[in-house]
Structure 1
Amino acid sequence: MAEKTLFITGASSGIGAETARQAVAKGWNVGLFARSADKLESLVEELGDKALALPGDATQVSEQQAAVETLAAHFGDVTAAFANAGRGASASGTLEGDAEDWQSMVNLNVMGVLWTAKAVAPYFQKNRGHLVLTGSAAGRTHIKGSVYSATKWFVHGYAGNLAEEFKEWGARVTVIAPGMVDTPFFDEAKPDKLKPEDIANSVLFALEADPRASVREIFVMPAN
Structure 2
Amino acid sequence: MYQTLDPRNFTVFITGATSGFGAAAARRYAEAGSRIIAVGRRQERLEALEKELGERCHTVELDVRDRAALETAVAAIPAPFDAINVVLANAGLALGLQPAAETDITDWETMVETNVKGVMYTVRALLPGLIARGGGHIVTMGSVAGDYSYPGASVYGASKAFVKQFALNLRSDVQGKKVRVTNIEPGLAETEFSVVRYKGDAERAAKHYERTQSMTAEDIAEAVFWATTMPAHVNINRIQMMATTQAFAPFDIYRED
TM-score, normalization by structure 2: 0.83
Aligned with residue 152 of structure 1, among 151, 160, 172 = 160
1:139 corresponds in structure 2 to 146
Is the CA contact (8 Å cut-off) linking 1:7 and 1:68 kept in structure 2? no
Structure 1 residues 28, 116: CA separation in 2 closer, same or farther (over 3 Å shift)? same
- CA deviation after TM superposition for structure 1 residue 74, in Å: 4.1
Residues in 1 aligned to 2:82 and 2:94: alpha-carbon distance in whole angstroms: 35
2:184 corresponds in structure 1 to 176
1:128 aligns with 2:149: no
Is the CA contact (8 Å cut-off) linking 1:71 and 1:78 kept in structure 2? no
Structure 1 residues 221, 91: CA separation in 2 closer, same or farther (over 3 Å shift)? closer
- CA deviation after TM superposition for structure 1 residue 89, in Å: 1.9
1:221 corresponds in structure 2 to 242
- One-letter code of the match for 2:170? L
The 5 Å alignment of 1:3-152 reads: 3-71=9-77, 73-126=79-132, 127-144=134-151, 146-152=154-160
Structure 1 residues 71, 206: CA separation in 2 closer, same or farther (over 3 Å shift)? farther
Is the CA contact (8 Å cut-off) linking 1:86 and 1:105 kept in structure 2? yes
Residues in 2 aligned to 1:85 and 1:76: alpha-carbon distance in whole angstroms: 20
Is the CA contact (8 Å cut-off) linking 2:37 and 2:81 kept in structure 1? no
Deviations 1:173-203 (A, max 9, x none): 0000000110001122336201000000000
Structure 1 residues 174, 41: CA separation in 2 closer, same or farther (over 3 Å shift)? same
Is the CA contact (8 Å cut-off) linking 1:89 and 1:147 kept in structure 2? no
**Matched residue SS, 1:130:** strand
Residues in 2 aligned to 1:96 and 1:142: alpha-carbon distance in whole angstroms: 18
- One-letter code of the match for 1:194? M
Residues in 1 aligned to 2:222 and 2:94: alpha-carbon distance in whole angstroms: 23
Runs of 4+ aligned residues of structure 1 deviating over 3 Å after TM superposition are: 70-74
Is the CA contact (8 Å cut-off) linking 1:59 and 1:112 kept in structure 2? yes
Gaps of 5+ in 2: 1-5, 196-204, 246-257
Q: Percent identity?
A: 34
Residues in 2 aligned to 1:12 and 1:67: alpha-carbon distance in whole angstroms: 17
Pairs aligned (count): 224
Residues in 1 aligned to 2:112 and 2:78: alpha-carbon distance in whole angstroms: 28
TM-score, normalization by structure 1: 0.95
Query: Which is higher, the Rg of structure 1 or of structure 2?
Result: 2
Structure 1 residues 92, 74: CA separation in 2 closer, same or farther (over 3 Å shift)? farther
1:203 corresponds in structure 2 to 224
